[in-house]
Amino acid sequence: GAGVSQSPRYKVAKRGQDVALRCDPISGHVSLFWYQQALGQGPEFLTYFQNEAQLDKSGLPSDRFFAERPEGSVSTLKIQRTQQEDSAVYLCASSPFGGGGSQEQYFGPGTRLTVT
């Protein structure tokens, strides 16, 4: 079946522009996660949804970052007034389970954001 999909796959933004990154999780998956992966680093947690509820947003680096999942399926990560340090790969992952325990997460291909 279809895995997690993300769009766009590549995004170039001028500093100061707003961007929106989309994630389509596996159908029926309860949990959805966003991670940021800088060059040469492992993924770093940004935020986590269980259905439409954002249960943890402790990893969002600033108030320029905002995520939503209004109907409990598709999610959008929005970055306002992009800065060069926002350049990274943004990964989305989903899991069929909720409940706060850590289970296998299924990752999307990522969106590579370059801020010039």
Partner 1 sequence: AQRVTQPEKLLSVFKGAPVELKCNYSYSGSPELFWYVQYSRQRLQLLLRHISRESIKGFTADLNKGETSFHLKKPFAQEEDSAMYYCALGTAGKLVFGAGTILRVKS
In the bound state with partner 1, the residue whose beta carbon lies nearer, of 84 and 102, is 102
| Nearest Cα to Cα of residue 52 among 27, 72, 29, 75 | 72
Binding positions for partner 1, 21-50, rule CB under 8 A: 31, 33, 35, 40-45, 48, 50
In the bound state with partner 1, the residue whose beta carbon lies nearer, of 20 and 38, is 38
For the bound state, the minimum distance from the C-beta of residue 6 to partner 1, rounded and expressed in Å, comes to 10
**Going residue by residue from 51 to 70, which x/- string records binding to partner 1, judged by CB under 8 A?**
----xx--x-----------
In the bound state with partner 1, the residue whose beta carbon lies nearer, of 82 and 111, is 111
For the bound state, the minimum distance from the C-beta of residue 88 to partner 1, rounded and expressed in Å, comes to 13
Residue 90 as a binder of partner 1 (CB under 8 A): the answer is: no
DSSP-assigned states of every residue in 49-86: EETTEEEE-TT--STTEEEE-TTSS-EEEEESS--GGG
Q: Name 66's Cβ contacts closer than 8 Å, sequence gap at least 6.
A: 60, 77, 78, 79, 80
Token duo for residue 31 = 């949990």
